[in-house]
Amino acid sequence: MSFENSRALIVEGGAMRGIFSSGVLDAFMEEGYRPYDFAIGVSAGASNLVGYLAEAPGRSYQVITELATSRDFYNPSRFLKGGDLVDVEWLWQQSNARYPVDKSKLFSSIPLWTAVTNVETGKADYYRIDESNADSAMVATAALPIAFKSTPCFSGGCFTDGGVADSIPVKEAYRRGSRDITVILSHPLSYQKNPAKYPWLLKKLFASNPALANAMVARTETYNQSLAFIRNPPKDAVIRVIAPPDEFSVKRLTMNKAILNQGYELGLQAGKEHMMNRQGLHGLTDENCHFCV
C-alpha cells in the first residue's frame, strides 16, 4: 500500500529500551497528538504503538514494568534448562488479558505495520496489523532468535524478530511514499552498532537457515545503513528523530524498575519537547536542535 507524500511514524524495538518510546507516546496521547498517516513498529516498538493507536495511555509502561520484569517472561534458569529466555508469546497474551485495548479503536486508527524477518529469505516482511493476524504478527516481530525457541508461522511463512532484518524501517516508510518521517529510537543519536564478535558462531547456530544466518551477520551493517539514511535523508524527505539522551541507562534486559522509570520519564520529556518544537514554542532551528524540528 502506497502513501504518497504522507507522514509516517517509525518506532524502533530494543526490548526494555522500549520504555523510552512508551514515554514519548504517552506524552503524545496526553495532548491528542496524532499527525501521522501510518506507523511501522518493530518488536517492543510495535507493542508500544498498539497502546498509542488504541488510545490506552500508560498501557505500554505497565506491560514493560509489570509483565516484562516478571520471571514468567524473562527467566535465565528456564533458558539453561532448554526453555525460553524470554517468552514473548506469554507477554503478548498476558498484555491483552491484563491490559486489554479497545480493538475497534485500534483497527480503525492510523494503519499499523510491523516488521518481521522471514526465516527462509532472511529479509524483512511487513504486515499490516488487523484482527486476523495481530496475535501471530505481534509475537513474530518480537521473537528473538535463540532467546525464544518457537518460530511463529503464519500467512505462508515462518518468522523471527523484525529487528534482525530491519530494526528501523525508515527506508520502508520512504519506499511507501512517506516524505515526512518521524523516528523514535531506542539508543542515543551517537550510537553506532558494532559488528558481531563471532560471526562464525552465528552461522553455525543458524546453519539450517543460511539466509537467516547471513541476515544475523549483516545486522550491524543494515542497522548502521538505516542510521545513515536518517542522518542524510533524500533531498525530497524530512526525517525527524526523537532519541534518548546520552545518559540513557536502560539496557536490552534491564529489570530494575527505578532505572526503567528514569527511562520512561526521559521519554515523556522528549515527547513533550518534540511537540513544543513542532509548534515553534522553543524557537529552535536546525542549527541548534539537530533532528528535532
Given the residues 26, 84, 125, 161, select the one marked as catalytic: 161
Name the one residue in this structure whose C-alpha cell is 539453561: 80
Q: Residues 238, 181: contact at Cβ < 8 Å? A: yes
Cell, residue 172? 520502508
Q: Tell me, yes or no, if 161 is annotated catalytic.
A: yes
Identity of the amino acid at 53: L
Whole-number Å distance between alpha carbons of 293 and 286: 7
Q: Tell me, yes or no, if 84 is annotated catalytic.
A: no
Cα–chain-centroid distance for residue 105?
21
Whole-number Å distance between alpha carbons of 58 and 90: 20
Q: Residues 13, 263: contact at Cβ < 8 Å? A: no
Beta strand 112-118 with 124-128 is antiparallel
- Cα of first residue to Cα of last residue in the chain, in angstroms, is 28
Whole-number Å distance between alpha carbons of 144 and 212: 12
H/E segment holding residue 172? helix 170-175
DSSP string, 107-152: HTSS-EEEEEEETTT-SEEEEE--TTTHHHHHHHTT--TTTS----
Given the residues 43, 47, 109, 167, select the one marked as catalytic: 43
Name the one residue in this structure whose C-alpha cell is 518510546: 21
**Residue positions annotated with a catalytic role:** 43, 161
